[in-house]
């Protein structure tokens, strides 16, 4: 028997998962997403990717500022969903919704729980030099990402993996897993395994201050941060008075003082080894190959960009 579903999600990551449910036998009663926000000094309204997908596919859409209201509680009770699927929605579900006994609330989370609970699991896994990550589908409880797990699946993180590539891969994986999970719920064959609290770690939200490159770190850690923060907010340093994002780099086995420009290839010394900048993006410009950037920006070999920060 097809399930009646309310979906709650916001970013690009959630779109393939919603699409997977849409083309299944199950019925989507409604989609919740974050409230539209004004962008560019109030000139234009920014809609979330889930908002845009829902409108394009004629799905019933809601985007309340506050979930913890009588209006939303009555809506859930009136619609009578069998399952609520949450994917990077960005709001905490209030207890009085979770207490509706007839509804199963499940979350599709982009980590191998209990590792990296919280807002930025993909970025934190890459920055931590983890070798693998994955998707966990769990029951939602009041404690953040701490509910028992129904299903997990993993992928490898390579040295060239970045947030964009891993997010896409996990989103596709989640889209496959959600329908497997819904089938188990439909057949009443679910098994939930309690998380080990001793192994829990938290992926706190990425702060803009973290994007600045500190050359006193090891090259591999700096590259991990560049990859984790690509494409947004991006890892940056200052050169010739301008903020420059590094979008692609590789580790080079050269030594120097942290922040020192070592050669004409824009190789910069770190606390251990160095990084060669392969692609970058000057503030307000499109990203480009380093060779293009260097046509109009002179390098002073031996100078220290760490002092330019």
Kindly report, residue by residue over 29-52, the tens digit of the pLDDT. Answer: 999 999 998 776 556 778 999 999
Domain boundary among 199, 221, 241: 199
Work out the average pLDDT over 61-71. Answer: 97
Q: Is residue 171 assigned to a domain?
A: yes
pLDDT of 309 higher than 50: no
232 and 285 fall within a common domain: yes
Look at residues 160, 178, 199 and tell me which one is the last residue of a structural domain: 199
Residue 224 lies in a domain: yes
pTM: 0.94
| Residue-range definition of the domain harbouring residue 271 | 209-308
Residues 155 and 122 grouped into a single domain = yes
Which pLDDT does position 40 carry in this prediction? 62
Q: With respect to residue 137, please indicate whether it lies within any of the assigned structural domains.
A: yes
CA-to-CA separations, 174 to 18, 140, 153, 170, in angstroms, rounded: 10, 16, 9, 6
Separation CA 235–CA 9 (nearest Å) = 27
Examine the domain organization and report whether 86 and 186 are in the same domain.
yes
Co-location of 218 and 303 in the same domain:
yes
Lowest mean pLDDT among 14-28, 191-205, 233-247: 233-247
- Flag whether 80 is in a domain: yes
Taking only the tens place, the pLDDT of each residue in 173-191 is 999 999 999 999 999 999 9
Q: Are residues 176 and 255 in the same domain?
A: no
The domain boundary residue, chosen from 171, 199, 227: 199
Residue 253 has pLDDT above 80, yes or no: yes
Q: What is the mean pLDDT of residues 50-59?
A: 98
Q: Is 226 found in the same domain as 256?
A: yes
For residue 224, the domain's CATH number is 3.10.25.10
Q: Are residues 8 and 120 in the same domain?
A: yes
| 164 and 19 in a common domain | yes
**Does residue 12 sit in the same domain as residue 138?**
yes
Q: What pLDDT band is residue 79 in, cutting at 50, 70 and 90?
A: very high
Query: What is the rounded CA–CA span in Å between residue 145 and residue 148?
Result: 9
87 and 189 part of one domain:
yes
Are 121 and 254 members of one domain? Answer: no
Domain count, the chain: 2
Judge if 256 and 281 occupy the same domain: yes
Determine, yes or no, domain membership for 204.
no
pLDDT-derived band at 161, boundaries 50, 70, 90: very high
16 located within any domain? yes
**CATH number of residue 28's parent domain:** 3.40.50.170
Does residue 146 lie within any of the structural domains?
yes
Please check whether residue 114 lies inside any domain of the structure. yes
């Amino acid at each position: 028997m097809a399930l009646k579903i309310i979906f709650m999600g916001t970013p690009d990551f959630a779109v393939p998962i919603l699409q997977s449910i849409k083309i299944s036998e199950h019925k989507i009663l409604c989609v919740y997403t974050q409230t539209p926000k004004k962008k560019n000094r109030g000139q234009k309204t920014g809609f979330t990717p889930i908002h845009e997908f829902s409108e394009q596919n004629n799905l019933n859409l809601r985007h309340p500022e506050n979930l913890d209201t009588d209006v939303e509680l009555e809506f859930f009770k009136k619609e009578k969903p069998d399952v609520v699927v949450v994917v990077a929605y960005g709001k905490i579900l209030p207890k009085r919704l979770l207490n509706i006994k007839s509804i199963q609330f499940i979350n599709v989370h982009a980590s191998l729980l209990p590792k990296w609970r919280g807002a930025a699991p993909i970025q934190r896994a890459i920055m931590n030099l983890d070798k693998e990550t994955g998707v966990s589908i769990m029951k939602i409880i009041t404690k953040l990402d701490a509910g028992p797990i129904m299903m997990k699946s993993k992928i490898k993180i390579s040295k060239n993996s970045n947030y964009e590539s891993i997010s896409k891969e996990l989103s596709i994986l989640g889209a496959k897993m959600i329908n497997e999970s819904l089938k188990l719920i439909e057949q009443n064959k679910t098994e939930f395994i309690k998380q080990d609290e001793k192994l829990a770690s938290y992926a706190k939200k990425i702060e803009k201050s973290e994007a600045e490159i500190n050359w006193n770190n090891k090259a591999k850690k700096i590259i991990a941060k560049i990859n984790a923060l690509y494409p947004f907010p991006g890892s940056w340093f200052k050169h010739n008075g301008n903020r420059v994002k590094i979008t692609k780099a590789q580790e080079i086995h050269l030594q120097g003082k942290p922040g020192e420009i070592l050669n004409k290839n824009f190789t910069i010394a770190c606390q251990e080894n160095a990084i060669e900048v392969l692609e970058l993006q000057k503030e307000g410009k499109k990203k480009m190959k380093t060779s293009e950037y260097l046509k109009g920006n002179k390098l002073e070999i031996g100078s220290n960009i760490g002092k330019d920060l």
